[in-house]
């Protein structure tokens, strides 16, 4: 989505209002949970739906 | 990010711990010097040792209490005891010295662990594995101290209490159980487990974006 919207991580972090460290946690898939407010802000900035940025992975697939 | 201010109570506990640790360090040095002198036979048998005698006694002494124009007959039954040796035999002095050294070492370890824990709390580093370790160490050290004290008191009774005779004091085969130390140890152990849950919650919180 970032590539489509031609935005860098820094720009996204500034526009959404979350730190680079948190954005990095999200990007690497290490996050345990995401607040609705964060999801709302990201979707608003990227003009997309949650399904466009979230993807379901089975636990065994994620480990491998 | 705005950092929270350290509460005054934590600052007071921290500085209190620092002062106690400093003073206790001096006490430990004195104990080490005392033991070195004992084991190099510096005192000979001339040492006048004054130590706690943790055995319950019946003081066979009756008296009168004057209260509200009444004369109430009372009896002194239990006392906190200290024993004074006019000429302490060297083996006994060494034994007391060694016991003192062990207790001081355990207390020092507890104080150092507590200081590290309070320092972390002061820096707002609270729910971390390191703090769980400090709490567990304090708990186990207290348990060790309790076991040692119980054994020490039993030995004191067997060695001194059974063989000493006083005119107005009856030595009882009953010792303090120092339950307070055991309760404190268990409480801190439970607290370490609460901190374990705290660490998990903190991790969840840190990884929530």
Q: What is the CATH number of the domain that holds A57?
A: 1.10.260.40
Q: In this structure, is residue A3 part of a structural domain?
A: no
Q: In this structure, is residue A55 part of a structural domain?
A: yes
Q: How near does any CA of chain B get to the CA of A33, in Å?
A: 5
Quick one: CA torsion of B42, B45, B50, B51, rounded to 10 degrees?
A: 90
Please state the domain count of chain A: 1
ipTM confidence score: 0.71
Q: How near does any CA of chain A get to the CA of B2, in Å?
A: 14
- Residue of chain B with shortest Cα separation from A41: B209
Chain B residues touching chain A at CB-CB below 8 Å: 203-204, 207-209
Q: In this structure, is residue A50 part of a structural domain?
A: yes
User: What per-residue confidence (pLDDT) applies to A37?
Assistant: 92
Q: In this structure, is residue A22 part of a structural domain?
A: yes
Which two tokens mark A29?
């898939």
Q: pLDDT, tens digit, for every residue of A23-58?
A: 888 888 888 899 999 999 999 999 999 998 888 878
Domain of residue A25, residue span: 9-63
The rounded Cα A33 to chain-centroid distance in angstroms is: 11
Does B209 sit within 8 Å of A23, measured CB to CB?
yes
Domain positions in chain B: 8-46+89-206
Q: How near does any CA of chain B get to the CA of A19, in Å?
A: 9
- Contacting residues for B135 by C-beta, under 8 A, at least 6 apart: B117, B188, B189, B191, B192, B195
Element (H, E) at B83: strand B82-84
Compute the half-sphere exposure of residue B153: CA atoms within 13 Å on the CB side of its CA: 17
pLDDT tens string, chain B, 209 residues long: the values are 556 788 899 999 999 999 999 999 999 999 999 999 999 988 877 888 888 888 888 887 888 999 988 999 998 877 778 889 888 888 889 999 999 999 999 999 999 999 999 999 999 999 999 999 999 999 999 999 999 999 998 998 888 888 888 888 888 888 888 999 999 999 999 999 999 999 999 989 888 98
- Residue of chain B with shortest Cα separation from A21: B209
Provide, as residue numbers in chain B, all residues whose Cβ is less than 8 Å from the Cβ of A29.
none
pTM of the model: 0.80
């Amino acid at each position: 989505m970032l590539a489509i919207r031609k935005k860098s991580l820094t720009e996204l972090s500034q526009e959404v209002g979350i730190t680079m460290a948190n954005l990095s946690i999200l990007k690497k898939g290490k996050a345990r949970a995401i607040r609705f407010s964060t999801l709302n802000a990201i979707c608003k900035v990227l003009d997309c739906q949650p399904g466009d940025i979230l993807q379901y992975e089975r636990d065994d697939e994620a480990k491998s | 990010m705005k950092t929270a201010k350290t509460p005054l109570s934590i600052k007071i506990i921290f500085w209190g711990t620092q002062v106690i640790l400093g003073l206790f360090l001096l006490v430990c040095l004195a104990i080490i010097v005392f033991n070195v002198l004992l084991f190099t036979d510096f005192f000979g048998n001339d040492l006048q040792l004054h130590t706690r005698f943790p055995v319950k006694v019946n003081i066979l002494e009756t008296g009168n209490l004057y209260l509200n124009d009444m004369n109430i007959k009372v009896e002194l039954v239990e006392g906190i005891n200290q024993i004074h040796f006019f000429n302490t035999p060297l083996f006994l002095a060494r034994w007391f010295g060694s016991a003192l050294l062990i207790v001081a070492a355990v207390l020092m370890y507890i104080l150092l662990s507590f200081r590290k824990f309070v320092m972390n709390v002061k820096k707002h580093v609270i729910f971390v594995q390191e703090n769980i370790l400090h709490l567990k160490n304090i708990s186990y050290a207290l348990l060790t101290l309790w076991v040692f004290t119980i054994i020490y008191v039993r030995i004191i009774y067997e060695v001194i209490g059974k063989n000493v005779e006083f005119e107005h004091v009856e030595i009882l085969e009953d010792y303090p159980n120092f339950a307070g130390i055991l309760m404190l140890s268990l409480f801190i152990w439970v607290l370490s487990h609460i901190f374990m849950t705290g660490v998990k919650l903190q991790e969840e919180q840190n990884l929530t974006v």
